[in-house]
Amino acid sequence: MICCIFNYAPLYRTSIFKKLDEEFDVCFHFGRKVPGRHGIAKLDYRIFKHPPVEFSSINPCGRFPWYRGIQHLAFSRKYRIFLITGEFNWAYIPFLFFCRITGKKVFAWGHGLKEIGKYAVLKRFFYNSLEGYFIYGEKGLERMVELGFPRGKFHQVANSVCGRDELPVSSDELASDVYVRHFGNEDPVLIFTGRLTRVKRLDLLVDALQLLSCSGSRFNAVLVGDGECGEELKALVREKGLAERVWFVGECYDESRLAKLIYNADLCLSPGNAGLTAIHSMRYGTPVATNDDFETQMPEYEAVIPGRTGVLFAKDDPASIASAVSDWFSKGFDREAVRRECLRVVSEKWNSDAQMDVFRKVLGPVVASLGK
């Protein structure tokens, strides 16, 4: 049996976790919550064959993240293979040491490192102790090699929010005049979906919208989600005189409603790191505008192909954002052609079926060799 130890069970991972459960004999262990991060919807545990086990995640002094109660799993006779959250955690040091003693094979799944930073010796111990590492992005993989880790240990597995069979095949049920009805105009719509947090820099979206308005370019903006910056953003919108141009939809986990909101928007704008917001948007054929700074971006921004599935701009620069948005619309791209290109990119790589192809190729032989 494979034991999966993940920091949380977010709703958006339902598709890939369910496929892992169907493909292998798996028992999931999830953190009850992620310290310092709230409002992340949890998936329904009833989708799994075996009831998941929960553990506590703590972070003393904000510097020592620790998963409570995972060390004993290294001695369990049930588990010979582990797949763990791939970001450094202090609890992994004794856990990996015990797995070495007991001969267990440990794989990790995460972003990798952009720099070694503090605790270099322990971080290198973590990565060097792994049997393999499933990394989200191609550029992240290249950086790990630059940092001195062996290329053969890493397997690129693009992130996802759904499987290929969950991609829309027809616009009949999604096409809607929802924005014309709300805004009372047919101006282009910029959308953001996700938690309204500081790292997303949605204040820059508002600043760029004002710059566009001052230049005579009229756009509507839609923010779907809630979070720590919600009230600040609403106040900023009022201050800029854009209240009639910005729609705060609020938190929404109804995928059928999200589908219509995303599908009928013209461009997804994510000024900070794009993350799965980009893939969620492209799932419904809507291109993405985000910043081009690898050092602060999430791997999903690699799905943005300038001029085909979206546009990139300079980080933290509202003028660059406004220019990029204006340039995108001035080129008169065929909306349906862009929609097809977005769906093609997601269908080829950024989906749970493509992820499973990688997991099956790497974990399958290991499971077979252990007779499980």
pLDDT of amino acid 36: 61
The DSSP 8-state label assigned to residue 2 in this structure reads: E
Q: Which two tokens stand for residue 154?
A: 């890493």
Q: What is the C-alpha to C-alpha distance for residues 340 and 285, in angstroms, rounded to an integer? A: 6
pLDDT of amino acid 183: 98
What the chain holds in terms of domains, given with CATH numbers, is 2-163+351-369 (3.40.50.2000), 168-348 (3.40.50.2000)
Amino acid residing at 55: F
pLDDT of amino acid 37: 63
pLDDT of amino acid 286: 98
CB 310 within 8 A of CB 333: no
Q: What is the C-alpha to C-alpha distance for residues 21 and 16, in angstroms, rounded to an integer? A: 9
- In a 10 Å sphere around its CB, with 0-12 CB exposed, 13-18 middle and 19+ buried, how is residue 216 labelled? exposed
pLDDT of amino acid 170: 75
In three-state secondary structure terms, 288 is strand
Q: What is the C-alpha to C-alpha distance for residues 155 and 152, in angstroms, rounded to an integer? A: 8
pLDDT of amino acid 345: 97
Note down pLDDT in tens along the chain; length 372 residues: 999 999 999 999 999 999 999 999 999 999 998 766 666 889 999 999 999 999 998 888 778 889 998 999 999 999 999 999 999 999 999 999 999 999 999 999 999 999 998 899 999 999 999 999 999 999 999 999 999 999 999 999 999 999 999 999 777 889 999 999 999 999 999 999 999 999 999 999 999 999 999 999 999 999 999 999 999 999 999 999 999 999 999 999 999 999 999 999 999 999 999 999 999 999 999 999 999 999 999 999 999 999 999 999 999 999 999 999 999 999 999 999 999 999 999 999 999 999 999 999 999 999 999 865
What angle, rounded to 10 degrees, do the helices at 202-214 and 230-239 form? 10
Q: What is the C-alpha to C-alpha distance for residues 169 and 364, in angstroms, rounded to an integer? A: 31
Which pTM value belongs to this model?
A: 0.93
Q: What is the C-alpha to C-alpha distance for residues 46 and 158, in angstroms, rounded to an integer? A: 26
pLDDT of amino acid 62: 75
